[in-house]
Amino acid sequence: MANYRRGRINDEMQKELAQILREVKDPRVSSAFISVTGTDVAPDLKFAKVYYSVLTGDKKEIAKGLKSSAGFIRGQLARRMNLRMTPELSFYEDNSIAYGAHISKILSGIEISEDDGEDGTPDGEE
């Protein structure tokens, strides 16, 4: 299968999964704000890795909730996407959003004074 087709399937699956996760009735999943950060479909379309991020809530319980509702999510995905074979889903936590927020907080805390020279030393010192 062409690599560009897998990329299109990954993008479409990510969009559909974001909508499907809002419809899941499991309280472990519905009470948490879950962002689907990416998907990676195997070349034979039998398996798919779903990367998600959660900022609040018990991460272990959310992982259990996603694992238990994987069948429902897969069924909804089969109805919405026109694929010959709907892949089995496995969920992996992605900490990149939390890590990015942490780095942003660190960078916003840095103060740059006006008297610093271009070489990093204060003016007048050499």
Q: Distance between CA atoms of 122 and 5, rounded to whole angstroms?
A: 55
Give SS3 for 8: helix
- The mean per-residue pLDDT over the stretch 78-87 comes to 91
How many residues belong to the chain? 126
Q: Which residue has the higher pLDDT, 82 or 49?
A: 49
Domain ranges of the chain: 3-106
d(CA 124, CA 84): 71
Four-point Cα dihedral 114, 101, 6, 59, nearest 10: 170
For the cut 90, the answer to whether the pLDDT of residue 14 exceeds it is yes
* 3.30.300.20, 3.20.20.80, 3.40.190.10, 3.30.70.100: CATH of 3-106: 3.30.300.20
Query: What pLDDT does 97 receive?
Result: 78
Strand segments (E) across the chain = 34-41, 47-54, 88-93
Predicted confidence (pLDDT) per residue in 106-124, tens digit? 998 888 877 655 565 555 5
Closest by Cα among 31, 1, 15 to 76: 15
Q: Judge residue 14's burial from the number of C-beta atoms within 10 Å of its C-beta, 0-12 exposed, 13-18 middle, 19 or more buried.
A: middle
How much is the pTM?
0.76
